[in-house]
Structure 1
């Protein structure tokens, strides 16, 4: 009784736990459904859910039926083996009945077999639900209209169909092995009860037939597996290139064909042997297959590689190298890169700079790393605001096309003072960030700080940019759920000694609604206070999944997303724009990146409204077969790019991750001649530069410039290349972002007979300049730290400018200031307080039209009053005297130069 009672209690507790788990799962399921519905993505939710259930149900039902039917075939032998029978031991005869015989009763046995079949079926169903996209892609596949060179099948077969066949193969193989093991175990159990021990199993004809059929099914599946393995040779990593090489085609492929025939022979011999009863023949055949797989799968290919390929590898591998080059270029769209010559080495004149003023006026002097600290010190305003990332973009401001740095001022609730982190504050009051900060990439105040185009709270600007909806409810740091439209207003922004308050005006949240729905929210979020709060009404809205890194992939989980979403101001509102990619690892012959994926297209542009959280997906590459397939699976989710509002379309850009992946591949796969590729004679590398005080790989960077032969400046992304094991520059890659040229890649190659300085060679020239090195050493010795910013290689006309900003940060300060700009051109290396002065030193010293105005960045003075200029002059005089007393002659000279500029401005103002 005690054991039975304890068992009953255990079952009761287990049942309660299962019920609680189901309630929790059901609450999460329901709140997710409400969330998808609020964003008009309920069809996506249902399609994914029904696809998962259908795949799991079909797979589970298949496992159950096959397993159960196989178990039912053993029922007769089991019942017979459970019968009581006499066993003689000399003169003593005893009646024997197996201990498990009491379970082998007609009704109980069937139920036990059903339960035993349900367990692997249920586990299989859970395991395969993640394969729903494989099934959907198979059902909605799109041809690539490109055939592989080995089997002459369309690439769509490998991308959409082959994964499905592998899925079915693995599932059936799992079922056959599981059934074979289970049935073998049962017949072994039956045989162990006989007088002749295990040999007595052979007295059952049914066992012989049953096990033979299962073994035949297994080898039939293995034959199919060998057939599929032939196609997988297109992803071989054994040769000199990714994909099949000579050995794969002339050794491994024939081996798979032979093994395919042997596996079919095994199947046939096993079935025939049911009637012949020559089990040795079966064993010989299986052994021959095992030995054949070892010899043909390992020994023979190794011999071919060593004795046939290696002595004449380049010629043997020629067609396969050419295939790898062609298909890798297609997979990463390298085949569409336009190659042009760039006649570097020519020197610019002052007139050239004047003719390219749009380029010079948009040279980026601010590195995002030190600017991040400066922004934080100047514009976060309160502890709970955070300017997490600085983005680089371009806007037409007061009629001028300008490159700017932008950051969103988000609310980080974890930075609230501990005493303020109450439930009401975290979920009802502090609900959103406020506004953005924007500054030109090239403008600096006299203090070495950025000149803001948009700043402060509420956002202020002296430009034609307007922010009518500055609140940021959805962003990169908003990880907590909030409830809006409650009885109490939300904190909007700090306003002197008081605060401004607001009420959410959007409609994309989920209404709290009835008490039952409120209870389900409390269960889903694990927060009982949702039930107790008196401020929440039925009309209140729940905003959750607010972090865009979680929000967007939850809506569309089958895309790959760029690492850097960026904030955009358009039509007075704030939006997040995010590049998304269609990818696969099944593009034949294409070398993978990151050891995983080997095809990528920037097929989708994602737009998230920072205020109401609505999400839109726009097709940026309508020719991509994968996005065409996704559009078939999810009709209406992906909209044409033409439907994106024009103000947003002006801010799409060539995405960073795609550009870097393409650059990485192009560094090798620009070599299209198989001989050059084999020897890696012309392999390029990504250059390095000095950032702060360490050598790092150079990052691609956005600039506004006029490409050679173009009439208008445009927003492009640039990365230089250097040859392997050398430091000079051989080419640079450009990704275009504006208008009809969006998405086009250009590579400009330098003449091979001319030396073009690479970034590290320029860094070395800077270090070797005695004036610059002395100044840097002096700054480092006087309680300051020098931060060397990005070295930018700026193409101007048919020549190059190298620009590197220098920032100074005092030990007691966390606010770097831009204090010098280094410009290198031709044989000249100059360092001046401003870009304008540096350019004047180079281009107005007998090399251009002396006295001509040189465009460049200038300190911000035009928006200061006479009184402010007078105070600034007084401050600079005091600063100069302090530096003189401290023996800082360089700093003293710098202060005097700044003082002179302020006095000149003051003189000009007093004459107006």
Structure 2
């Protein structure tokens, strides 16, 4: 390739990657603004960008200074290379490769910054962490330290360790090629004073990261999942923790020896002594813990581990909100009487006869009406119907775009845009044919109870449907009526307005669809609905929360509203046993999604939860 074309080639690559990235960013911003959570989006972008820039800048400064100092050892050296004209000697000047080396350093720093920026939630949790008001039973630290602070410190340690490793590797290679590190004829290692000073300082820095690592391992023992129980055991508390404190001291002493070596320019024995001291103490601590486990704990394990088992039980009950459960003794001698049945008539009258799985199949057979409709799940709910408190089972009739008879762009994105209505019936009634009794059924929906749905169109649901355009020149299919079809025009305010050509262009690039830009059916009044699947929608808004995998449908003031349980969780609660991948959980938030407009609202139901408070600060 002609060297003059390289800038043009790089510019084309930048355009090919930069324009789609900008389109993704811009349309995401429009969507977050439409759903009312633009501050959440800005907060995440700001945090990610700040962490990335700060870390990349600091890492580049350290690596660049280290590189410049190390490259002073390099001298112009001749190299013999093969050419068509025969062997030729060229001289490599270090000054000529310095810009490329600094460029590579910058690239590495950016990659490290991107990695750190990907952990922006860890940074925000650290800055905004809320105390739990409860301390661990061993170190006496607030639980918030383990949940919010410890993950951040672990991230910082990882970045420091990797940066120190790179600095040592680069410096050693530079001094090796510069002839300032090597073997003397007598077989002894030769290290110049300049290399001794530089490598000694780097060794001291690395040993400080080792001390930091040993210090972090002490609280980490309380959150480990291995062993007899979750958390620190007898051997951990009485052997490993003291050994780790000794290791911290040994690492600090070793760092001091390495620093002394760097300052005095003497022989290499202080660095060797530092390395030997650290590794001897590390291995000795592990051996000491193994001896305590074998000869102190194992012969009388039940007695020795009892206090720590108690810590585990108490912490697990607290972490899962089971510490306030009231215990009532049951003798098993009670006799059921007619009076008991009459007293609990509401419960008896709502004993379910239907199971959700066969009922889902039955709903599909008798109420899907068309092949492109689908019932994704059956949900339970309770309503006062005709003056009686009833438990019912219901399912939304959603559109499945994968089942359309003709899957054209117009059909999938303009015409077939939404599902319609629901099927609802009591849990304890059966027709003479063995089918479920239905209070709401058919298309358009017919209700035989005082429960009415005034807006049955379902644009947002559980089905993985793609984006759609509403308020277009193409009428939307509403529902079938016999052999005919009923069409409608969307009258809500859901979706992102396509108010100008630039927005259409950005969405066309995002969707990789020329139809989005050139279609004559789209106008400045048109709107695009995206992220219509509930699970995807809420995770886009608040990815730092955990969501129940089964949202459920409810009727509220004639509207269809999806509800989903939201959980704040952690894996860092000391001494708590994990279940389902977490060892702390609170159902502290509920989220509702309007099936017609897509309005998404998070409702805090447990404002005292420390993680919920922290998220609120963020």
- TM-score for the superposition, normalised by structure 2: 0.95
Please tell me whether the aligned partners of residues 511 and 539 of structure 1 are also in contact (alpha carbons under 8 angstroms): yes
Matches within 5 A, 1:548-697: 548-594=534-580, 596-633=581-618
| Aligned-partner SS, 1:317 | helix
Paired with 1:50 and 1:375, the residues of 2 have a C-alpha distance of 48
Give runs of aligned pairs for residues 798-809 of structure 1, distance below 5 A: none
**1:385 to 2:373 alignment:** yes
Matches of 1:99 and 1:233, distance apart in 2: 57
Q: Distance in 2 between matches of 1:515 and 1:570?
A: 38
Task: Give the Å deviation of 1:195.
Answer: 11
Answer whether contact 1:493 1:501 (CA < 8 A) is retained. Answer: yes
Give distance in 1, aligned partners of 2:104 and 2:159.
18
How much does 1:512 deviate?
1.2
Q: Aligned partners of 1:237, 1:83: CA distance in 2, in Å?
A: 56
In structure 2, the residue matched to 1:425 is 411
1:439 maps to 2:425? yes
Counterparts in 2 of 1:197 and 1:516: CA distance versus 1, 3 Å: farther
CA distance in 1 between counterparts of 2:187 and 2:25 reads 55
Partner of 2:390: 402
Alpha-carbon offset, residue 346 of structure 1: 3.7
Partner of 1:119: 107
Aligned pairs, number: 609
For the pair 1:56 / 2:45, whether they are aligned, the reply is no
Q: Equivalent residue for 2:155? A: 167
Distance in 2 separating the partners of 1:83 and 1:360: 93
Task: Name the residue aligned to 2:76.
Answer: 82
SS in structure 1 opposite 2:222?
Answer: helix
Q: Distance in 2 between matches of 1:497 and 1:533?
A: 29
Alignment of 1:759-770 (within 5 A): none
Counterparts of 2:332 and 2:210, CA distance in 1: 61
Asked if the contact 1:410–1:475 (Cα under 8 Å) also holds between the matched residues in 2, the reply is: yes
In structure 2, how many angstroms separate the alpha carbons of the residues matched to 1:360 and 1:486?
51
Q: Which consecutive residues of structure 2, in runs of 5 or more, have no partner in the other structure? A: 79-87
- Per the TM alignment, residue 240 of structure 1 is displaced from its structure 2 partner at its CA by 1.6
Mapped partners of 1:249, 1:332: distance in 2: 25
The one of 491, 494, 497 aligned to 1:511: 497
Paired residues for 1:166-245 under 5 Å: 166-191=154-179, 202=190, 204-245=192-233
Measured at CA, do residues 195 and 220 of structure 1 come closer, stay the same or move farther in structure 2, by a change above 3 Å?
closer
Tell me, yes or no, if structure 1 residue 294 matches structure 2 residue 283: yes
Whether 1:151 and 2:139 are equivalent positions in the alignment is: yes
> Judging changes above 3 Å, is the alpha-carbon distance between structure 1 residues 490 and 199 closer, same or farther for their aligned structure 2 residues?
farther
1:356 aligns with 2:344: yes
> Equivalent residue for 2:84?
none
Tell me if 1:530 matches 2:516: yes
Worse-superposed segment, 350-359 or 268-277: 350-359
Shift of 1:336: 1.1
**Which of 90, 95, 101 is the matching residue for 2:92?**
101
2:317 and 2:323 in contact (8 A); partners too: yes
Measured in 2, the distance between the counterparts of 1:503 and 1:622 equals: 41
Tell which has more relative contact order, 1 or 2 (C-alpha 8 A, sep 6+): 2
Distance in 2, Cα, partners of 1:579 & 1:498: 40
The correspondence of residues 338-349 of structure 1 with structure 2, limited to 5 A, is: 338-349=326-337
Q: Find 2:13's aligned residue among 13, 17, 32.
A: 17
Secondary structure of the corresponding residue to residue 351 of structure 2: coil
For 1:726-749, what per-residue CA distance to the aligned partner results, in whole angstroms no more than 9, with x for missing partners? xxxxxxxxxxxxxxxxxxxxxxxx
RMSD: 2.2
2:404 maps to 1:416: yes
* 1:473-495 C-alpha deviation (Å, 9 max, x unpaired): 00011421100001122111111
| 8 Å contact from structure 1 (residues 216, 267) kept in 2 | yes
- Take 1:385 and 1:313, find their aligned partners in 2: how far apart are those partners? 61
**Does the 8 Å CA contact 1:427/1:481 hold for their aligned counterparts?**
yes
| Cα 1:251–1:611 shift into 2, 3 Å | same
The answer to whether the 8 A contact 2:215-2:245 is kept is yes
Is the alpha carbon distance of 1:117 and 1:453 closer, same or farther for their aligned partners in structure 2, counting shifts above 3 Å? Answer: same
Q: Deviations over 1:455-480 (max 9, x none)?
A: 11111112111111000000011421
Please give the alpha-carbon distance, in whole angstroms, between the structure 2 residues aligned to 1:211 and 1:130.
32
Distance 1:513 1:446, change over 3 A: same
CA displacement 1:281-314 (0-9 Å, x = unmatched): 42133123213212312x2211111110011111
Q: TM-score, normalised by structure 1?
A: 0.65
Which structure 1 segments of 5+ residues have no match? 85-96, 634-912
Deviation string 1:176-221 (CA, Å, 9 cap, x unpaired) is: 1111111111111101799968999956422111110000000011
Return 577-586 or 502-511, whichever deviates more: 502-511
Note if contact 1:82-1:98 (Cα within 8 Å) is conserved in structure 2: no
**C-alpha displacement at 1:13, in angstroms?**
4.2
Change (3 A) 1:203 1:288: closer
Residue in structure 2 matched with residue 27 of structure 1 by the alignment = 23
Q: Deviations over 1:558-605 (max 9, x none)?
A: 0000111000001000000000100111111111113x3210000110
**CA offset digits 1:324-353 (Å, max 9, x no partner):** 111111000110111123343544234432
- Pair 1:246 & 2:234 matched: yes
* 2:319 alignment counterpart: 331
